[in-house]
Amino acid sequence: ISAMVSAALAAPALAADLTVGFSQVGSESGWRAAETSVAKSEAAKRGITLKIADGQQKQENQIKAVRSFIAQGVDAIFIAPVVQTGWEPVLEEAKDAEIPVFLLDRAIVVKDKSLYMSVVTADNVLEGRLIGDWLVKQMNGKPCNVVELQGTVGASVAIDRKKGFAEAIANTPTIKIIRSQSGDFTRSKGKEVMESFIKAENNGKNICMVYAHNDDMAIGAIQAIKEAGLKPGKDILTGSIDGVPDIYKAMLAGEANANVELTPNMAGPAFDALEKFKQNGTVPPKVIKTVTTLWLPADAQSELDKKKDMGY
């Protein structure tokens, strides 16, 4: 990093001169599409040139994109890493080229933390914990069988959201996770996996709640619950994470119960940190945390209204 600081100080840059390459995960969810759209508008606001590569949920595509950004000599690289391991070699290459790397919304596991400058992320363990705490309160001692729709296997957010929820229900033996499987953060996979859970659990009658690691999977699950002749939000409760407009609409229709909001503006704080670093060598904090809030049906209308200006 110190070599990068001297390089930054030697050539102070105006935002308008900066080019950033962004290796995006893909377009698996409504939240992801909003994150991409906010990244574009935040770049445009600052006069930064943003090049986006869609990784289509594959790490190998993301690694190729990062290599291509290095070859193009961009001023910085943003990565939303699909999984948390396997990044060392390509990050070494970025470091050798003195190109600062910012991680957006998902974290990675590397021994040498100097391989990236900062990660902009929510507290993903807290997200899961908030849904779990809500359920414990909601059940008030009554038993509840939970089915869990996990995010992409190996993604930091899926690991953390699982952990937070499990921690929250750990001291409540009447609440049990009876099935847990990945729905890869997509609506169609969420629906498919929920259908199999319903079939395996007495046509859904053994299920009290579905905990989905994102809203798109929850919306797919809601569809599956309806098709099985049950009432989502009543016969089977729902809890999920993101805050996409459709989940607030489902809440307003009485079909979803609890939601934790994740801001799609991950690029904005990264651009701010990058600009400061390029202008005067200010090294940003390693973790730049975004705000995490639990919303319930009573909040749904006002949250839905706010979403209009948030890239959705």
Interaction of residue 241 with ligand AHR, rule CB under 6 A: yes
Considering the complex, what minimum distance in angstroms separates the CB of residue 14 from ligand AHR? 31
Considering the complex, what minimum distance in angstroms separates the CB of residue 54 from ligand AHR? 13
Residues 166 to 185 in contact with ligand AHR, rule: CB under 6 A: 185
Number of residues that bind ligand AHR (CB under 6 A): 12
Quote the CA–CA distance of 222 and 216 in Å, as a whole number. 10
**Quick check: helix, strand or coil at residue 158?**
helix
Q: 79 vs 228, which CB is nearer to ligand AHR?
A: 79
Interaction of residue 102 with ligand AHR, rule CB under 6 A: no
Interaction of residue 292 with ligand AHR, rule CB under 6 A: no
Closest CA to 236 of 194, 278, 275, 267: 194
* C-beta separation of 170 from 122 below 8 A: no
Quote the CA–CA distance of 295 and 240 in Å, as a whole number. 10
* List 48, 99, 157, 169, residue binding ligand AHR (CB under 6 A): 157
Interaction of residue 214 with ligand AHR, rule CB under 6 A: yes
Q: Which residue has the tokens 């289509």?
A: 56
Interaction of residue 28 with ligand AHR, rule CB under 6 A: yes
Considering the complex, what minimum distance in angstroms separates the CB of residue 33 from ligand AHR? 9
* List 23, 24, 29, 84, residue binding ligand AHR (CB under 6 A): 29
Residues that bind ligand AHR (CB under 6 A): 28-29, 31-32, 105-106, 157, 185, 214, 241-242, 262
